[in-house]
Each structure stands twice: as C-alpha cells, then as structure tokens.
Amino acid sequence: MSNIIDRRKNAKGKSTNNRQKFLKRVEDQIKEAIPDILSQESIKDSNGGGKVKVPIKGINEPNFKHDPKSGKKHYIRPGNDKFAEGDKIPKPEGGGSGSGKGKGSNSPEVTQDDFVVILSRDEFLKYFFEDLELPNMVKKYMESTTTFRNQRAGYTKNSVPSRLNVKTSFQHSLARQISIAGAYEQKIRKIEAELEQETEQARKLELQSEIERLLKLKNTIPFFEDVDLRYNNFERVPKPATSAVMFCIMDVSASMGFHEKDIAKRFFTLLYIFLSKQYAKVEIVYIRHHTESKEVDEEEFFNSRESGGTVVAPSLKLMHKIMQERYDPQVWNVYCCQASDGDVWSNGDAVECSQILKNDVLPNIQYMAYIEIKNRGLEGYLWHAYKKLRKEGNFSMRNINDVSQIWPVFKALFKKKSLVTEEA
C-alpha cells in the first residue's frame, strides 16, 4: 500500500549548496549592487539581509535554439473571436517585442527581466565587508579567535576520574539503590504474606529460604555501579577576549539639517554593522553636542530636536572622560567616529579639539574617523585643524555630501591595510 511521509520536518536548505554555487557565479554583480542598496534604502533594513538585483544576462545557459524572429512559423491559438481564413493582420511596429513575446510562448524560451536575489544577513555581510577590515584591529582580533575557554555543559557518562562529579553520581546511586531495594522489599512482603497463610511445612521452609535470599540480595546492592557515575562535561567555546566600544560624536548645532543628520546616521549605522560582525560585544556611546555636550541614548541621539551653537572640544573631553571611567583601553577596542559640518564657534575651539585628539584620544584608541558633511567649497575650521593629524596612523578624515558617497568613503576609510594608498 502507499507510503505516506511527512517531509515537513526534514532539514531545510536542501538547495543551499547549489544556491552557494550560484551566488559565487554572480559574486561580482552582487558586489556591484551593494553600494546601490546603501544609497537607496535605510541601512537598518539592510541589516536583516539585502535584496540584490542581478541581471540574468551574466548567467545565461546557452543552447542551440531557433532565432524567434526567423523563418516561417505556424501558431495555433485559442479563442478566435473575429478572424476569418485569409485575414491579414499587420505586425506590430518594430517587430521585436510584439512578435517575440506572444508568439514564442509555446516554446520554453521565457523572457526574463532582471530578477532579484535575496541575500541572508550573513551572505549580505560577507559581500558587504569583503575587502574591509578595521584598522589596527588585527592583533586583538586574532587573539579573540584563538582563545577558547571551557564552559560547563552538563554531565557525561564517560570521562576521566578527575572530572567525577561526586554529588550527582551519589544521587544517581541513591536513586538506584532505593528503587532496587524497593523492588526486593515488595517481593519479600508478598512472600511473607504467603508464609503466614501457608500451613505445609516443606513449603514454609522453601519460602523462608527465599526470603533470606532476597534479604541478602537487598543488603548487598552495590554502592556504586558504572551507570551511576556522572562526570562534569565541558565544551570548548571561543572566548571573545576583546570587546569594542564605539563613540559616536555628532554635531547637532543649528547648521546640521535633516540631510546632514541622515548621512551621519547612515554612517554610524554602517560602522555599527561592521563592528558587530567583528566583535562579540560592541557597545555604543552616543555623544551629541552643540554648545554643550551630553551623553544620550540612541533615540535621543538621532531624533532630539534640541539645537544651538557649536562648540566641539567639550564633546571630545567628555569622550575622554567616559573612556577613562568605563572603557579601559587595555581591555576595550575603542573606536570613534565624529560627524560634523565642520563649523565651529571659533578657531580656538578647533585647535583645542585637535590637541585633545592628539594628546589624549588618539594614543588610546584603535581608530578614529572624522567625516565632514559639507557641500560648500571652503574647508571648515575643524577640517583645517584636523589636517595635521593625518599623519597619525589611526586617524582618517573624509568629506561626504551625498548619500551615495557613504559607501566609497567608508570603504576608503576602512580598506585593508595592504590596499591603502596615500590619502589625497
């Protein structure tokens, strides 16, 4: 008779292997498409995996087939509503699309436009960060992947004596002894009851000896059997030896409009995705500043409308302070990203900023990126003051004035060391 099988619980992803092979084939096209995603939609959405448009041309499977335009062909169509034999119908202008689509539909050649590949989060990140790495991160990151620690993971029945867990083993032993003794006890009680009823002497003796035998068995239940023994079980888990903290410093002075904040936000988000791929634990400290500086939460950072004039230096001081209090650079990988339109109250403020960076911040952190969101030609005070810091290995600065520039700039700031060329 028929077999009925529920396949639904079977492992998913039977096509994964073939899918990977296919993705590998269109890898270049995916990489090309990624900057588009970045400039078109919110980065936070891309976080869960992106949609990539891949033109089907690159992955054609050729075979010998007829040119649909050539030759003399007959087609049979259903639903004649107005034609009589011998009617002539002009072909559509241009011939191409009109005759191509309707006519060829009986044949397997289906015209396909670009179709969309949906990448999972991991796949997306893989392509996204393919050529990137966090500067100065290599050493600590390597450490983090090579150290393991043993983590308790329940009990196992087979292991070395030194890992014997006495308490659990004893519990098992006790349980076994009680249950087995109980079974004997029951039997004994049954036989004793029978003994009382019994009158025949021979049978009595027989029952008595049986009781004795059972008692003996009951009293000689071994204290430990192999089945009782439990050993502590350990699992090797990779130990993230390092964690990272990212300071996001944003200028929210009146001159930063929606457009500027949007770009800054995208940039920070990108950096966050990047960091969270590399580190098990990433913390973010949001600092916003106008005339005064304040540590805020994410919500307030991006959405608060509070605004005022621009004084930058206190925000860097604040960062330094927080770092000293909470994020010891010996333990934490510290990153900083500052976004501003470059306007400052006075040149003195800019000079102070550059000094704080040089003396207090840069020596203690892994990397700092400064992005200036500005589409005016003149350099701001801040840009001017920061220029001298460029020779510090862990400082980069770039100008962004359009969403589409975020990805190239991000790439330039974080490209692998081997690829770094002298900054313009």
17 sits near another protein (criterion: CB under 8 A): yes
Cβ nearer to another protein, comparing 106 with 421:
106
* Rounded-to-integer distance, Cα 296 and Cα 304, Å: 10
Residues numbered 118 to 137 that lie near another protein (CB under 8 A) are: 118
**Strand pairing class (231-238; 148-156):** antiparallel
| Tokens 């004039």, residue located | 309
Do 250 and 339 contact (CB within 8 A), yes or no? Answer: yes
Q: Closer CB to another protein, residue 120 or residue 324?
A: 120
4 vs 378 by CB, closer to another protein: 4
**161 lies in the binding site for another protein (CB under 8 A):** no
SS3 384: helix
Amino acid identity of residue 380, one-letter, is G
Q: Using CB under 8 A, which of 48, 96, 102, 308 touches another protein?
A: 102
94 binds another protein (CB under 8 A): no
Determine, following the binding rule CB under 8 A, whether residue 7 of this chain makes contact with another protein: yes
Binding segment toward another protein, per CB under 8 A, in 78-86, 239-247, 258-266, 302-310: 78-86
- CA 3 – CA 100 distance, rounded (Å): 46
In this chain, which stretch among 101-109, 216-224, 234-242, 353-361 interacts with another protein, using CB under 8 A?
101-109
The residues, any chain, with a CB within 8 Å of residue 73's CB and separated by 6 or more, are 103
What element of type H or E holds 45?
A: helix 43-46
49-68 binders of another protein (CB under 8 A): 59-68
Question: Which is nearer to another protein, 3 or 220 (by Cβ)?
Answer: 3
Nearer to another protein, 82 or 391 (CB): 82
Helices (H), 129-232: 138-146, 166-197, 201-219
Residues 162-181 that bind another protein (CB under 8 A): none
C-beta atoms surrounding 98 within 10 Å: 12
For residue 274, the minimal CB distance to another protein (Å) is 27
Task: Decide if residue 152 touches another protein (CB under 8 A).
Answer: no
Instruction: Say how far residue 242 (Cα) sits from the centre of its chain.
Output: 17
76 binds another protein (CB under 8 A): yes
> Rounded to whole angstroms, how far apart are CA atoms 267 and 282?
16
Closest to another protein by CB, 74 or 152: 74
The answer to whether 378 contacts another protein (rule: CB under 8 A) is no
Specify the residue, 67 or 325, whose C-beta has the smaller distance to another protein. 67
Report the b/e string of 378-399 with b at 16+ CB within 10 A. eebbbbbbbeebeeeebbbbbb
Report in angstroms how near the CB of residue 383 gets to another protein at its nearest.
Answer: 45
Using CA atoms, how far residue 257 sits from 43, 295, 297, in Å, is 19, 20, 20
Q: Looking at 87-95, 201-209, 385-393, 394-402, which segment touches another protein (CB under 8 A)?
A: 87-95
3-state secondary structure of 370: strand
Q: In the range 270-329, which residues lie near another protein by CB under 8 A?
A: none
Binding test (CB under 8 A) with another protein, winner from 94, 108, 161, 377? 108
Return residues touching another protein (CB under 8 A). Answer: 1-8, 10, 12, 14-15, 17-25, 59-81, 83-91, 99, 102-103, 105-108, 112, 115-118
